[in-house]
C-alpha cells in the first residue's frame, strides 16, 4: 500500500470515529439533562449548572446539522424541566439565575410565567 492510500484510510476511519463520538456525546447530554440535572441543581454549587449550560450552548452551535437537531431535543428537555419547577414566580427567579451566564441576553422570560 502506498502512503497516500494508508493516510486516506486513516482519515476515513477518524471521520467515522469522530462522528460516532459526537453522536454518543449528544445522547449522553440528553440522558444527563433528562435524568440527572436535578441532582446537579440540588448540590450547593449552582454555578456548575450555569457552566454546564454555557458549554451546552456552545456545543449546540458547533455541531453538524443532525447533531444540532438532537441538541435541540436536549434543550427541549431542559425547558420542560424548567417549566415544571414550582410556582410561576419560583420558575422566573430560577430561570433568571440560570440565564445570567448565557451569551444571549434577550431571552423572553415571560413564556415561563404561565
Q: Tell me, what's the pLDDT at 54? A: 86
**Confidence grade of residue 5 (pLDDT, cut at 50, 70, 90):** confident
24-28, 55-59, 74-78, 95-99: least confident range? 95-99
Q: With a cut of 70, say whether residue 37 has pLDDT above it.
A: yes
For residues 80-112, b (16+ Cβ closer than 10 Å) or e, as one string? eebeeeeeeeebbebbeebeeeeeeeeeeeeeb
Average of pLDDT values for 53-80? 90
pTM: 0.67
In which domain, by residue range, is 107 found? 3-112
Tally the domains of the chain: 1
Q: With a cut of 70, say whether residue 4 has pLDDT above it.
A: no
Amino acid at each position: 500500500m502506498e502512503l497516500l492510500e494508508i493516510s486516506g484510510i486513516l482519515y476515513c476511519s477518524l471521520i467515522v470515529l469522530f462522528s460516532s463520538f459526537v453522536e454518543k456525546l449528544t445522547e449522553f447530554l440528553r440522558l444527563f439533562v433528562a435524568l440527572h440535572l436535578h441532582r446537579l441543581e440540588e448540590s450547593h454549587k449552582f454555578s456548575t449548572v450555569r457552566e454546564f449550560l454555557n458549554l451546552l450552548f456552545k456545543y449546540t452551535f458547533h455541531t453538524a446539522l443532525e447533531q444540532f437537531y438532537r441538541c435541540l431535543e436536549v434543550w427541549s428537555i431542559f425547558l420542560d424541566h424548567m417549566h415544571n419547577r414550582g410556582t410561576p414566580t419560583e420558575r422566573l427567579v430560577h430561570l433568571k439565575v440560570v440565564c445570567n451566564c448565557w451569551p444571549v441576553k434577550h431571552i423572553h422570560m415571560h413564556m415561563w410565567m404561565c
